[in-house]
Every structure is written in structure tokens, then in C-alpha cells.
Amino acid sequence: MRFLPQGETLRVLAPAKINLALEILGRRPDGYHDLRTTMLSVRRYDELSFIPNAGEEVLLRVLPSSPNFVDVPTDDRNLIIKAARLLQSKTGCRKGVAITLRKQIPSQAGLGGGSSDAAATLVGLNRFWKLGLSSSDLHPLAAQLGSDINFFIDSPVAAVCTGRGEQVEEVCLPSGIPIVLIKPSTGLSTGDVFREWSRPSPPSDNILKENEKVTWKGITFGFGNDLEAPARRLNPQIDRVLKTLKAESVPSAMTGSGSACFAICRSTRQAQAIARRCQQRRLGQSIVVHSGV
Ligand code: C5P
């Protein structure tokens, strides 16, 4: 994430992520699943502004000009509010804040927008309220709020995440890889996709299973996402996206629990051309990004 202090206001840019690979290792007694996933930060940002607010209240508004304004709750269903209140209760901080969110990362997409917003709130308010917490103080709070938030706390370009997803080990992958993101019009809930994964199902013809590997600057990535088959059963739009990307002969996969998919491209120009073709076919919102924070 990036910090842009402006007078009394602190602006924070919260990046999105993609899952280059996601393997489910098994069901846990607590109802979650153990997994192993390689996450890569990408330069598409939600923008959070923290503005002083009298009293202890935490207020959130979403800018209506945001491209992904719809469906973002502004009450305590939003992880931003939960993160701010958790910080207040853990530290006894009696300060308030007015938070403005410009939502640029599509929701229900597997792009980590809500998780990145929560991490930006923990790290940003720690600075804004001068709480003096360290990153290792913030990690348990992140894990309490969700499974993907820890990845964003220390802003690595990439990491292998295990456990529920909250155990983060940074790995060295390059910034600047051109990537196309395609978000079908219908999104998916992470809980629904994990539940669908648990259901007995016919053997899947995982579109990408013969799997694709890409080497970029000497590093080889493997792709494969165990949540792809259940997500495709719940949302057939994903099939069209993956088939189209496969026909483009670029390494591609679904990210997280979907419904967004990505393709790793050789150049920004190639990424722009693929994004244009996906847009023309009305596959969904098509966005060109680069890896990095
Ligand atoms: O932790 P988070 O709130 O992001 O997870 C949303 C839902 O996804 C959980 O309620 C759970 O149903 C499912 N999940 C899971 N195993 C994981 C992560 C998430 O079953 N490792």
C-alpha cells in the first residue's frame, strides 16, 4: 500500500491481488479450509482517505463517482468499519475518523479489495491515530478480521500464504508484469464457493488443468486454482472468460474464489489488445494492470 499524507488528511492506496495458484489442502475443524496459495499484488487501488472526526465515531462513505460504487455497505458489515472499531477496542483509542473510500477494485471478484481495504485501515489508522503498533501487533488483528488481510499488512509484491491464508511468507516475484483482469458482471461470495467445493460433484474438466506455466524474468509460475471448478458451477460466465483467454494463448486462471480471471501477458500492448477484445465480447469489466504495490 502507499501513503500520501496531505495536511490533516491521510490518503492510502490499497492494492488488489491475484492468486497465481490456489491449492486446498483440506477442511479444518473450525469450518475453514487449509490452503496454499501464491498471491501477487497488482497496481489497481482502492483509495481510502482518513479525515479527523470529532468524538469517537467511525464514519464511512463511498464516493458515488467510484467505478465500483454499487453494493459496498457503509455500515459495520464493511471490513473498514470492523477494522477501525477493532483498533479502538484493542488500544483504548478514543479518537474518531471520517473515512472516504474510492472503490476501484471490483467486489466479489477474488481480487482482495475488501481485505486490502481492511489492511489499509489497520496500517493507516495506526499512523493516523499515532498508536505506535508494530506490524507484528497488527497481524493478529488482521487474522481476526479475515483470512486474506495479513497478506496486505506488509505490502509484499508476492507471498505464499498458508493456514487459512493468514500465514504469509514473502517470495521474490517481479513488479511490472502486464496482466489483464476480467470481472464478469456477476460476482461470487467466497463462503458460497468454499461450500460448493465441499459438495460431491462430477469430475471436472478443469479448463486450465493441463496447466500452464509462464516464465517471466527467469521465474516460472504454475497456475491452477482448486476453487475454479466450484466457481464455474455457480457462475457459468467464468467459462466464457477462461475459454476466451485460453484462445488468446496466454497463461490465465481464475483468481481466489472468483469471479474475476486474469491473463499474464508479454507486453502492455498485448494486455491492452486482449482487454479490448474481452470488452467487445461483453465478457465483463476488463482492466489492464501491472504486478507490484
Ligand atoms: O476469512 P474470510 O472472511 O475471508 O472468509 C470468507 C469465507 O470463506 C469463510 O466464512 C469461509 O466460509 C470461507 N473460507 C474457508 N477457508 C479459508 C478461507 C475462507 O472456508 N481458508
Q: What is the pLDDT of residues 167-197, one digit of tens each?
A: 999 999 999 999 999 999 999 999 999 999 9
Residue 220's pLDDT band (boundaries 50, 70, 90)? low
User: What mean pLDDT is reported for the chain?
Assistant: 92
From 190, 193, 226, 257, the mutation candidate for ligand 1 (largest count of ligand atoms within 8 A of CB) is 190
From the CA of 148, how far away is ligand 1's center (Å)?
9
C-alpha cell at 7: 495536511
From the CA of 193, how far away is ligand 1's center (Å)?
9
In the set 17, 95, 103, 183, the catalytic residue is: 17
pLDDT of the residue at 84: 98
Q: What single letter denotes the amino acid at residue 186?
A: T
Residue 255's pLDDT band (boundaries 50, 70, 90)? very high
| Contact (Cβ atoms closer than 8 angstroms) between residue 45 and residue 105 | yes
Active site residue 17: yes
From the CA of 165, give the closest atom in ligand 1. Answer: 21
From the CA of 164, give the closest atom in ligand 1. Answer: 21
CA–CA gap between residue 133 and residue 120 (Å, rounded): 14
Q: Which tops the pLDDT comparison, 13 or 208?
A: 13
Nearest CA to ligand 1 atom 13: 191
Residue 201's pLDDT band (boundaries 50, 70, 90)? confident
In the set 95, 148, 183, 226, the catalytic residue is: 148
Mean pLDDT, to the nearest integer, of 134-162?
Answer: 97
Residue 210's pLDDT band (boundaries 50, 70, 90)? very low
**What is the per-residue pLDDT across 18-68, written as a single tens digit (0 to 9) for each?**
999 999 999 999 999 999 999 999 999 999 999 999 899 999 999 977 776
| Contact (Cβ atoms closer than 8 angstroms) between residue 51 and residue 9 | yes
Mean pLDDT, to the nearest integer, of 257-286?
Answer: 97
Nearest CA to ligand 1 atom 7: 191
**pLDDT of 96 above 90:** yes
Mean pLDDT, to the nearest integer, of 198-219?
Answer: 62
Query: Ligand 1 — pocket residues by CB below 6 A?
Result: 32-33, 35, 146-148, 164-165, 190-191, 194
From the CA of 254, how far away is ligand 1's center (Å)?
17
Q: Is 202 exposed, middle or buried (0-12, 13-18, 19+ CB in 10 A)?
A: exposed
From the CA of 143, how far away is ligand 1's center (Å)?
11
| Residue position matching grid coordinates 499484488 | 41
**pLDDT of 214 above 80:** no
* 281-to-68, 233, 269 alpha-carbon distances in Å: 20, 21, 19
Neighbouring C-alpha atoms within 13 Å toward the C-beta of 126: 20
From 17, 32, 148, 199, the mutation candidate for ligand 1 (largest count of ligand atoms within 8 A of CB) is 32
Mean pLDDT, to the nearest integer, of 204-217?
Answer: 57
Q: What percent of the chain has pLDDT above 70?
A: 91
Nearest to 41, CA basis, from 143, 107, 118, 112: 112
Nearest CA to ligand 1 atom 12: 191
pLDDT of the residue at 223: 78
Nearest to 261, CA basis, from 221, 214, 225, 233: 225
CA–CA gap between residue 96 and residue 57 (Å, rounded): 5
DSSP H helical ranges for the chain: 79-91, 113-128, 135-145, 149-153, 190-198, 228-234, 237-247, 268-280
